[in-house]
Amino acid sequence: MPSNPSATTAAAVPASAGSSHAAARGPSLKIALTGGDGIGPEIMDATLELFKAAGVMDAAAPGRAAGIEFIPVEMGRSVFEKGNTKGMTDEAIRITEDCGLLFKGPMETPKGGGGKSINVTARKMWNAFANLRHFRTLPGVQTVYSKAGIHIDMYIVRENIEDTYGGVEHRLSNDMIQCKRLISAPGCDLVSRFAFKIARQMGIKKVHCGHKANIMKMTDGIFLDRFKVAAKDFTEIEAADVIVDALCMNLVIKPQQYRMVVLPNLQGDIVSDLCAGLVGGLGFAPSANIGRHISIFEAVHGTAPDIAGKGIANPTALILSGLMMLRHIGLLREAAIIENAVLSALESGVRTGDFGDPAKPVLGTKDYTKGIIDRLGQKPTTITPVTVPETNPAAPASAPVPRPQATQVIRTFTDVVRHVVGCDIYLDTPLSPASVAEEMQRCCEDTPFKLTLISNRGTQVWPTGSAYTECVDYYRVRFELREGSRPGDFGQSRCVALMDRIAEKFTVCSYELLRVFDGVKGYSLAQGQ
Ligand code: NAI
């Protein structure tokens, strides 16, 4: 019998790793619930039917001090259609904040203009800072790896708040659009520490940090640095790092070498879909968005508009996300029983059309779910079953999660000596680099600053550059202190005065202060500088 190393920990999100939920007890634990759009309602109905059959909602089940009450909330397309650009009603927000837990189906994101993704808004607004995604080989789910006898069992921990997902975008000139990539030290600390904590609780011995710090030396650089700092408190776990492009290749060639990888938001999003592909597709990828106060459980996949309403969607990913949630709140017994039933059904060839042995019949969502319900109480025989505890060690939490008094400011570095050494000013102009240089040198006469660099799309084009570098209509001009001045001799107001002078003649799109932090440059060099 091949071993299933994740059997007792699969999809477990120890409550203590992120939120304060497991502490309180009471008669009924309330969870905000929304089916979502597209296939969402179909797979949510299937999941709830299974949960009901497994007694998850029973208040008086053995070993349980509380039942679960799902409180429906309105989010998604129907709310957008009423003109609410948040995509969730005020009542939905209040109920979710009172419950501290949201179980949700996928939601459609309006394309292009209009409302932003609710999924992203919810994670960010409620600071669900870590997105834990579990990918593993499942019986009956054939992949090139399962056929080759390669067992995959790994977690992606994706930073969930920052990065380009800040959605801070601007049109800067006729031809240039910008998306700001924001990475903070506290944001990095939260996600790295969460990863090491759950790795410790799951007995995972090695955690990788995936990054692109060789190119984005400051943003990915701090992500990697804070990962290494967090690792020092978890000495029994080996901490390693891997550049994200190499990670993608390694995952395809030898996926079994990874157990947990922590990544910034966008890279984590892309790599986790890659991992879903390794284990049979999005139909098997569950996720938990863990925050200090509010946690959100959902499948990785979207609304699958191409199959919505046909009754053929695969509910497994949402079911497995629900199991992450049950474990998060301490319902280990129910989660284990359901997981064993899912594994038994899969190994018996119960399947929807998106996976499985073509020789076995394709079932619709309802019959597939029935196939799992019929196996409640059974255990898989081809892999090690999940150990079912006699009782639940902790009753579900029921007290409302204490609401923070006010928005908190989280900080990592506080005592830092910072000095202004110059500024980068960004111009919307179609002039040539030489003409821009001539104008800028005139503007900075009689100021503490001299022109030191002009770059275009990040590449230096003045004082030296290549005739082969093509420029667009948006420049960065860099001014630094003249010889004889020291960092700190002049403050920000002199930079603003310089910008004002330039703005009399040019369109200034934005400016960034150049500073040294404890003597270290807080800005990057241009390509070719
Ligand atoms: P998608 O994940 O909805 O679909 C990609 C492909 O996978 C489709 O062929 C679909 O049929 C298939 N698929 C997905 N889930 C399946 C399931 N459970 N059973 C069987 N087949 C399944 O991705 P897509 O098409 O890029 O996005 C559709 C919408 O979903 C968009 O509006 C997007 O913004 C939204 N979305 C929402 C997410 C969320 O709520 N967390 C996550 C990802 C996308």
Q: Whose CA is nearest to atom 36 of ligand 1?
A: 302
Q: Whose CA is nearest to atom 13 of ligand 1?
A: 304
Residue 5 lies in a domain: no
- 312 and 244 in a common domain: no
Residue 409 lies in a domain: no
- 171 and 99 in a common domain: no
* SS3 (DSSP) at 370: helix
Please report the pLDDT score of residue 19 as a whole number: 47
The H-assigned helical ranges of 329-364 are 332-347
Q: ∠ CA(182), CA(185), CA(194), 5° rounding?
A: 110
- 259 and 174 in a common domain: yes
Does the Cβ of 192 fall within 6 Å of ligand 1?
Answer: no
Upstream peptide bond of 463 is cis (omega within 30 degrees of 0): yes
- Quick: pLDDT tens for 4-41: 333 333 444 544 455 444 433 345 789 999 999 999 99
* SS3 (DSSP) at 194: helix
Cα–Cα distance between 96 and 296 in angstroms, integer?
Answer: 9
Does the Cβ of 314 fall within 6 Å of ligand 1?
Answer: yes
Query: In this structure, what CATH number is given to the domain that contains residue 226?
Result: 3.40.718.10
Strand partners of residue 67: 28
Please report the pLDDT score of residue 12 as a whole number: 46
Choose one of 265, 282, 354 to mutate for the ligand 1 pocket test, by most ligand atoms within 8 angstroms of C-beta: 282
DSSP secondary structure letter of residue 362: P
3-state secondary structure string across 452-464:
EEEEECCEEEECC
Please report the pLDDT score of residue 112 as a whole number: 60
Q: Which of 387, 410, 444 is the C-terminal boundary of a domain?
A: 387
Task: Give the number of C-alpha atoms closer than 13 A to the C-alpha of residue 98, restricted to the C-beta side.
Answer: 13
Residue 405 lies in a domain: no
Measured CA distances, 96 to 32, 83, 377 (Å): 5, 21, 32
* Count of domains forming the chain: 3
User: Which residue type sits at 34?
Assistant: T
- Quick: pLDDT tens for 477-518: 999 999 999 988 899 999 999 999 999 999 999 999 999 999
Asked whether the beta carbons of 208 and 217 are under 8 A apart, the reply is no
Please report the pLDDT score of residue 210 as a whole number: 98
Cα 480 to ligand 1 centre (Å) = 49
Choose one of 132, 141, 303, 351 to mutate for the ligand 1 pocket test, by most ligand atoms within 8 angstroms of C-beta: 303
Q: Whose CA is nearest to atom 26 of ligand 1?
A: 302
- 252 and 162 in a common domain: yes
Residue 396 lies in a domain: no
- 330 and 429 in a common domain: no
Residue 392 lies in a domain: no
Q: Mark the ranges of the chain whose per-residue pLDDT is less than 50.
A: 1-12, 14-16, 19-26, 398-399
Return the sign of the alpha-carbon dihedral for residues 49, 54, 343, 268: positive
- 312 and 271 in a common domain: no
Beta strands in 75-218 (DSSP E): 101-104, 130-136, 153-159, 169-171, 177-179, 206-211
Please report the pLDDT score of residue 11 as a whole number: 44
Cα 106 to ligand 1 centre (Å) = 8
- 178 and 87 in a common domain: no
- 503 and 476 in a common domain: yes
Q: Whose CA is nearest to atom 1 of ligand 1?
A: 302
Query: In this structure, what CATH number is given to the domain that contains residue 504?
Result: 3.30.70.1570
The H-assigned helical ranges of 54-184 are 77-81, 90-99, 118-125, 144-147
Residue 361 lies in a domain: yes
User: Which among 144, 147, 203, 137 has a CA at the least distance from the CA of 4?
Assistant: 137
Cα–Cα distance between 239 and 408 in angstroms, integer?
Answer: 30
Please report the pLDDT score of residue 421 as a whole number: 96
Choose one of 118, 301, 369 to mutate for the ligand 1 pocket test, by most ligand atoms within 8 angstroms of C-beta: 301
- 179 and 111 in a common domain: no
Cα–Cα distance between 312 and 51 in angstroms, integer?
Answer: 20
- 266 and 148 in a common domain: yes
- 275 and 142 in a common domain: yes
- 441 and 379 in a common domain: no
Q: Which of 231, 263, 283 is the C-terminal boundary of a domain?
A: 283
Cα 7 to ligand 1 centre (Å) = 27
Residue 205 lies in a domain: yes
| Residues whose CB is less than 8 angstroms from the CB of residue 484 and which lie 6 or more positions away in sequence, other chains included | none
Please report the pLDDT score of residue 117 as a whole number: 81
Q: ∠ CA(80), CA(85), CA(91), 5° rounding?
A: 80
Please report the pLDDT score of residue 508 as a whole number: 97
Q: Which of 251, 283, 315 is the C-terminal boundary of a domain?
A: 283
Instruction: Look up the domain containing 311 and give its range.
Output: 19-129+291-387
Residue 14 lies in a domain: no
